[in-house]
Amino acid sequence: MDSLVASNIRQRPLRTLISVLGVALGVTLVMLFTGLAHGMSNDLQRRSSNMRAEIIFTRPGSQQLTASLMNLSTQYVPRLEAVEGVERVTPVAIQANQSGRGFGFENVEGVEWESFAAINETKIVRGRAPAAVDEIVIDETKARNASLDVGSTLRLFGNKPYRVVGVYAPESGARIKMPLTGMQDALEAPGRCSYIL
């Protein structure tokens, strides 16, 4: 039997090489994608663990993988604040945006900065909080990976320019945040949000 294997390798070296390369490629791809999935999962878990809200109020079907519907009225905010035991409430809009790096997408959140920062213990480490509808803040990872800082311009929602006015920490949720009113204007959805923390 050993001589049969050895003779096949000697007689058909190209077929043997192709078989070895095919198996090596398969093993390499499995290891690569396992590592990527593990890294993405850890990143998402770390950012999600920095969200301090205990309850997320939303409508069924309002969040999907590549899109988020702004189908929840912000009129629920005062009603939820009136519930006994609720300390603070903040509406959040989330929208998937084409990544500036070509392939893929990234989420952008529209928030009322003061209440969002108070709930999640988020601080501006450079610059200031966004105030105008064309201003955004980014987390430290986004600033480092995309070589952005206070004063930079980022294009969102069909190539509209938005000015980076601050960098926040710790990272939580989407890496890009803008005023809720700015997202409502950009998406023509006044008085709407995706969920309420």
DSSP string over 73-93 = ETTHHHHHHTSTT-----EEE
pLDDT at 161: 94
* Number of helical H runs and strand E runs in the chain: 6, 11
Nearest to residue 169, comparing CAs of 147, 130, 137, 134?
137
Q: What's the structural domain count of the chain? A: 2
Same structural domain for residues 14 and 91? Answer: no
Which amino acid does the sequence have at 45? Q
Same structural domain for residues 97 and 145? Answer: yes
Spatial contact of 129 and 114, defined as CB atoms under 8 Å apart = yes
pLDDT at 103: 67
56 to each of 44, 51, 76, 196, how far by Cα in Å?
17, 10, 12, 6
Same structural domain for residues 61 and 44? Answer: no
Same structural domain for residues 24 and 105? Answer: no
Full-model pTM = 0.76
Same structural domain for residues 186 and 135? Answer: yes
Same structural domain for residues 81 and 35? Answer: no
User: 10 Å Cβ neighbour count for 165?
Assistant: 22
98 forms beta bridges with 105
User: Please, what are the averages of pLDDT over each run of 10 residues along the chain (197 residues)?
Assistant: 76 89 96 91 75 80 65 93 92 84 79 93 94 94 91 90 94 90 92 91
pLDDT at 116: 93
94 forms beta bridges with 109
Same structural domain for residues 139 and 192? Answer: yes
pLDDT at 102: 61
Count of alpha carbons within 13 angstroms of residue 50, beta-carbon side: 20
Domain that holds residue 139: 57-196
pLDDT at 55: 85
